[in-house]
A and B are shown apart, each in its own frame.
Chain A
Amino acid sequence: GQQLNQSPQSMFIQEGEDVSMNCTSSSIFNTWLWYKQDPGEGPVLLIALYKAGELTSNGRLTAQFGITRKDSFLNISASIPSDVGIYFCAGRVNTGNQFYFGTGTSLTVIP
């Protein structure tokens, strides 16, 4: 199956700092998605990307669909304590119904 690798695996940052994380795939995707998961809950969709090169923002979050279609990036500006959680990327090819999730990036924000 498809392999999605996320980096870094974990991050410990001070409140107010900016955060960058990325996701790479061994295959081309037509759709990239970014989710946040809190303990004991299901993932919550943050941003959806549909076109190579697309840059989309949702509040303090900005995500980009890589030009090669094999990667995507998520940035969080001015982090706050409620940003704590695990961030997952997910990708899909248009011809399939499956969404492939990454390995996750665990974010800890130190007040």
Chain B
Amino acid sequence: GAGVSQSPRYKVAKRGQDVALRCDPISGHVSLFWYQQALGQGPEFLTYFQNEAQLDKSGLPSDRFFAERPEGSVSTLKIQRTQQEDSAVYLCASSLAGREFNEQFFGPGTRLTVL
């Protein structure tokens, strides 16, 4: 498809496990964002990539969270030693540059549940 895809759609982890969430942005989109959305809340910014460069990671809640985009396309968000408070939907979005930087296309999200 032509949209942003994310996998897995659902992930259940035991507390302490590591998880990896994948995002396939729209082809040609240089900008890629990760957001965390808690139940009943709006998305909260985690990190931003321009191509392969991670230009802003100020939203990552702890050093257990790590994101990469090594070839400037697919991105992975990794959470180490998951905690119950990490349970949320993780959304990926991509956009072009210039004014269209603002016009983000979101994926369906990965719902993470930590038991």
Contact = CB atoms under 8 A, between A and B. Distances in A.
A102 B58 CA distance: 19
A92 interface: yes
Contacts of A104: 40-42
Contacts, number: 55
A31 B55 contact: no
Q: How large is the interface on B (under 10, 10 to 19, 20 to 34, 35 or more residues)?
A: 20 to 34
B7 interface: no
Contact of B108 (A31, A33, A42): A42
A11 interface: no
Interface string A29-68: 0010101000011111100101000000000000000000
Interface in B24-65: 33, 35, 40-45, 48, 55-56, 58-59
B102 A31 contact: yes
A62 B58 CA distance: 33
A42 B42 contact: no
A82 interface: no
Contacts of B108: 40-42
B42 A48 contact: no
Q: How large is the interface on A (under 10, 10 to 19, 20 to 34, 35 or more residues)?
A: 20 to 34
Contacts of B58: 98
A48 B99 CA distance: 10
A102 B48 CA distance: 19
A101 B106 CA distance: 14
Contacts of A4: 42
Which 7 A-B residue pairs are closest in the complex by CB-CB distance?
A42-B106, A101-B42, A97-B48, A97-B56, A98-B45, A101-B43, A43-B106
Given A42-B4, A42-B108, A103-B41, 6 more contacts: A42-B106, A48-B103, A98-B48, A101-B43, A103-B42, A104-B42
